[in-house]
Structure 1
């Protein structure tokens, strides 16, 4: 099962919400785990909140799971049944991984596997092997991304 970590910053508005929704929609062709880092988000607008609700509905329809952490501001009308929020990243990831059916967490090394850890490029979906956490570059599409210890992929967004 694919797992992605999105680090967000600034004001979560229609622009960021729509881009994130389109990315999430593209990634939910098969069930996946999505973790949203709100620790650097200063405000969530009403339209941004509507996109969060759309993302939650899309995940529910496709068997994917969505959760967030680090929210510094209140979201008016936020229902915990729409989207689960946690204080710490570890709590959020543990919650998401509890939905993963298997003996090991998402993307984590299987001791019996000879291939090692595998991930999918967040841009072109090429299956890649990696040995350690840190910054990586896809050899196929040249996309830059970060992989943490558990194999969660965090993309670097381009600013226009």
Structure 2
């Protein structure tokens, strides 16, 4: 599982929020861990809070985890539950690492029934599977392998 640390500075507004959202959207094609450093952030605008909400929502949808640290400003009440925040970087990283120690694969959503599901590593289409083996996404036609625990591995294309 990939993990990235984003160090943010200045005013977290539409410009920074949209750039960060697009980068996270690109990186969440496979489940990842994201640590956001707010220690240099002086202000979060209303639009900035909306981008944080979108980032958290995107991570939940894709099985990724996101947390932040060092936010030295008061968080408005309606935004309090958006993002898990910690005072220090080490606490944030420890929390994120604790989220991957699990029997449930990070890219598998909790199924409503006994059916097993995974997301296509290329287009994020939700797919059902029964046995470990090779699968072909009907949407984007990429081949991938699913092991017994539900972890997805893609095949590299040789050019």
TM-score band (shorter)?
Answer: 0.5 to 0.7
Matched, 1:54 2:57: no
Q: Normalising by the residue count of structure 1, what TM-score does the alignment of the two structures yield? A: 0.61
Return the alpha-carbon distance in structure 1 between the equivalents of residues 29 and 9 of structure 2.
Answer: 26
Return the alpha-carbon distance in structure 2 between the equivalents of residues 79 and 72 of structure 1.
Answer: 14
* 1:101, distance to aligned residue in structure 2 (A): 3.0
Structure 1 unaligned segments of length 5 or more: list them: 103-160
Return the alpha-carbon distance in structure 2 between the equivalents of residues 72 and 20 of structure 1.
Answer: 20
Q: Which residue of 2 aligns with 1:95?
A: 95
Return the alpha-carbon distance in structure 2 between the equivalents of residues 101 and 75 of structure 1.
Answer: 30
1:1-160 aligned at under 5 Å gives the runs 1-76=1-76, 77-80=78-81, 82-101=82-101
SS in 1 for 2:79: coil
Q: 4+ runs of 1 displaced by more than 4 Å?
A: none
* 1:79, distance to aligned residue in structure 2 (A): 2.4
Higher relative CO (CA 8 A, sep ≥ 6), structure 1 or 2? 1
Q: Which has the larger radius of gyration?
A: 2
* 1:51, distance to aligned residue in structure 2 (A): 0.1
Return the alpha-carbon distance in structure 2 between the equivalents of residues 79 and 10 of structure 1.
Answer: 21
SS in 2 for 1:72: coil
Return the alpha-carbon distance in structure 2 between the equivalents of residues 42 and 34 of structure 1.
Answer: 21
* 1:100, distance to aligned residue in structure 2 (A): 1.3
Please give the root-mean-square deviation of Cα atoms over the aligned residues, in Å. Answer: 1.0
Deviations 1:77-130 (A, max 9, x none): 2223x210000000000000001137xxxxxxxxxxxxxxxxxxxxxxxxxxxx
Q: For this pair of structures, how many residues does the alignment match?
A: 101
